[in-house]
Structure 1
Amino acid sequence: MSRQLPFHTMDVFTTQPFGGNPLAIVEDADGLTTAQMQIIAREFNLSETLFVQSPDDPGHTAKVRIFFPTDEIPFAGHPTIGCAIHLAAKHFAGQKDFETTITLEEVAGLVPVEVLSAGGKAKARFTAPVIPEQHKGESPSEALAACALGLNERDIGFGDHKCRVFAGGPAFLYIPVASLDALGRAGVMEPHWSRMIAAANVDSAYLYTPGNDEIGYQARMFSPTAGIPEDPATGSATAILAAQLLASGALGEGTNSISLLQGVEMGRRSELGLEVDATGGEISSVRVSGSAVAISSGSIVIPQA
C-alpha cells in the first residue's frame, strides 16, 4: 500500500460540530511538493486545506502552507485558528484546561496564536501578520455592486461605509449593504460579477451589514473564481475588515472589540471576534479570535509527484 499521511478535520469559528467553517489539516507534509499539496486540497474540496511542516526556526511550532481548491494563499484566518487549536490539543493530550502560544510560519509572515482551553472547550486568538492597507484595485460604483449581487442600488452602502478594496496578505473587495434583508438576498450575478471582480483586482467580495443585539456586523463572503461559491467564515477578511472600518469612520481611539457573524445563510453559523488597535487614525495591530471543534481523523494517500 502507498504511504499515507495523517489528516484531521476541524470546524472553525464554532463550538458546535457541523457548524462554522470546515478545515482539513494534513500533517507530516515536509516531503510534499506544491503540486501534491494542490491535488490533496482539491480532493478535500474545502475552502482551505492546511499542510503542517517542520518549522524553519526550531523555536517556532510549525511551518504551514494553506491552499484553496484552486491555488495556494499566503495567509488565512480559519486555518490558522483551527491548526493552532489542533496542535495545542495534541501537545496537551488528555488535558481539558491549558493555555499556550502556538507560533506558525506562514507565507505572509510569522503568526503567533494564543490558545486557551477551559473544560475542554478551546478558543484561539491570532495577531495578523501584516497591517491591512489599500489594495490596487478599482472600487465599484453602487450601481455595479448592486447588479453584481442581484440587489437594488439603495441596498448598497450605509452611513460612511462605501465599497473599497483592501489587502493584508490576500485582498478583498468590501461591500457594505444596508440591511440584513439585503444581505440575505445577495448572490453572484453574471456578467456583472466578473466585471466587478476583475476591475477590483481580487477574487473575493466580503459583504457586511450592522448586526442585531450583541453582533457588531453580520457578513457573507463570495469567491467563486477561487473555487469557493460562498465561505462560512473568513478570518483573513475579518482581519482586513479593520482597514475598511477605519476608512468608514467606524473605529475609535484605542482597542476596538467587535463581534461578527457569518455563514448564517449557509446553515453554518460562525462567530468571530475582531480586535483593532487604532491610534491617531492608524491601525497598529489586528487580532481575530474564535473556537474550533475536532470532527474527524484519518489518513490520505500521497499523490504521485
Structure 2
Amino acid sequence: MGRRYAILDVFTNKPLTGNPLAVVLDSEGLDDGQMQAIAGEFNLSETVFVLPPENPGHSANVRIFTPKVELPFAGHPTVGTAILLAHERFGDVDGDQDAVVVLKQQIGIVRCAVVLKPHAAAFAEFDVPRLPEPAGPTHNNELIAEALGLDPADIGFENHDPSRFKVGSPFNFVPVRNLDALARAKPVMSRWKAGFGHDSHNDAYVYCRETRSRESAFQARMFAPDMGIAEDPATGSAAAAFAGVVHFYDGLTSGTHHIRIEQGFVMGRPSLIDLEVDIEHGKMHAVRIGGQAKLVARGELFV
C-alpha cells in the first residue's frame, strides 16, 4: 500500500510560483533515515512528514526535513501543512470555511488559523511559537560581501547592519542597499564559511527596503547551501526571526505592524509573506506569519 503525499505551492495564490512543499500524509513506520532519504528524493527546500497526534487536542505531529537535515520549525511547511490538513478535513467547500489546525513540531505547539475558499487559494496564519532573539555576532562586512559576491559598499542601508537572530534555527540577516545589489548576490562557496560561520546553520537572508510593489515593505533572498538549499523561494522561519531585525533597527512603536515581504522574485518563484508584529511598551508581544497556498499535485510513495 502506498503512502499518500501532496505537493503545494506556498506563499502564493498561483500554481508554479511560491515555494513548493511536499507533505507525506501517511508517515507511520518511517524511521529517521527513510524520512531524510525521501526528502532528498523530493529535493524541495522542505518535506513534511505527518504523524498521528499524541494529544487528541492536536491535529498532527509533524517532522520537517530539508534535503540534508531535519529542522525544528519552518514557516512555509507550517502554512502548507495546515492548509492541506484543512482540505483533508473539509474537502471542497461551497463558501469560506474557517479551520484551526494545531501542529506539534520539535520547537513546540504551533496553532494555525486557516480559511478555505471555493476555487481559490487558501490562507493560513500561525502564531510563531517563540519570539525572535539575538543569535550572536556576525562577521565583518568585507567577509560577508565576499561570501555573497558583492562589494562591501553594497552591504547595509540606513542604520541596518548585518545581524543574527533566531526562532528555532538562526539566520544571518544581511541588508543590502537596493534591488540591484540583491539581484547580484550569489553564494561564493569558497568564502561562505568565512563570511557566515562553520556551524550547521550558516544561512544568509539578504534583504533590502526597495520592493516591486508599494504594498510590500522589504524584498529578500535566502541562501542555505549547507542545508542543500541553493536558494529558497520563501522562508517563513526567517521572516519570523526577521521581526527581531525590524524591531531592533526600525524601533517599532506600540501596536500591530503589518509587514509584507517579497521573496523568490529573482529566481522566478515570486512569493509574498505576511509578517505581523505586536509591540507593547516597546517590546515584542507576539509574531504571526501568514500566506496563501495552492494544492498542485497528489500521489503515492511506495516506500
When the two chains are superposed, the root-mean-square deviation of aligned CA atoms in Å is 1.3
Contact in 1 for aligned 2:200/2:226 (Cα 8 Å): no
Contact in 2 for aligned 1:125/1:287 (Cα 8 Å): yes
Unaligned runs of 5+ in 2: none
Contact in 2 for aligned 1:63/1:104 (Cα 8 Å): yes
SS, match of residue 287 in structure 1: strand
Contact in 2 for aligned 1:246/1:281 (Cα 8 Å): no
Segment drifting more, 145-154 vs 108-117: 145-154
Give the count of matched residue pairs. 299
SS, match of residue 197 in structure 2: helix
> After the TM superposition, which residues 157-172 of structure 1 pair with which residues of structure 2 at under 5 Å, given as runs?
157-172=156-171
1:68 matched residue in structure 2: 66
2:134 matched residue in structure 1: 134
> What is the CA–CA distance in structure 2 between the aligned matches of 1:250 and 1:274, rounded to whole Å?
16
Offset of residue 43 of structure 1: 0.6
Runs of 4+ deviating beyond 3 Å: none
Offset of residue 158 of structure 1: 0.8
Offset of residue 186 of structure 1: 0.5
> What is the CA–CA distance in structure 2 between the aligned matches of 1:59 and 1:42, rounded to whole Å?
32
Identity of aligned residues (%): 43
1:45–1:10 CA distance, 2 compared to 1 (3 A) = same
Contact in 1 for aligned 2:13/2:294 (Cα 8 Å): yes
Residue 287 in 1 paired to residue 282 in 2? no
Residue type of the alignment partner of 2:83? I
Offset of residue 201 of structure 1: 6.7
TM-score using structure 1 length? 0.95
SS, match of residue 129 in structure 1: coil
> What is the CA–CA distance in structure 2 between the aligned matches of 1:172 and 1:200, rounded to whole Å?
11
1:189 matched residue in structure 2: 188
2:152 matched residue in structure 1: 153
Offset of residue 94 of structure 1: 2.1
Offset of residue 139 of structure 1: 0.8
Offset of residue 250 of structure 1: 4.5
> What is the CA–CA distance in structure 2 between the aligned matches of 1:281 and 1:150, rounded to whole Å?
37
> After the TM superposition, which residues 80-159 of structure 1 pair with which residues of structure 2 at under 5 Å, given as runs?
80-96=78-94, 97-121=96-120, 122-136=122-136, 138-159=137-158
1:31 matched residue in structure 2: 29
Offset of residue 120 of structure 1: 3.4
SS, match of residue 192 in structure 1: helix
SS, match of residue 264 in structure 1: coil
Residue type of the alignment partner of 1:281? G
> What is the CA–CA distance in structure 2 between the aligned matches of 1:300 and 1:269, rounded to whole Å?
29
Offset of residue 202 of structure 1: 2.6
2:55 matched residue in structure 1: 57
SS, match of residue 30 in structure 1: coil
1:236 matched residue in structure 2: 237
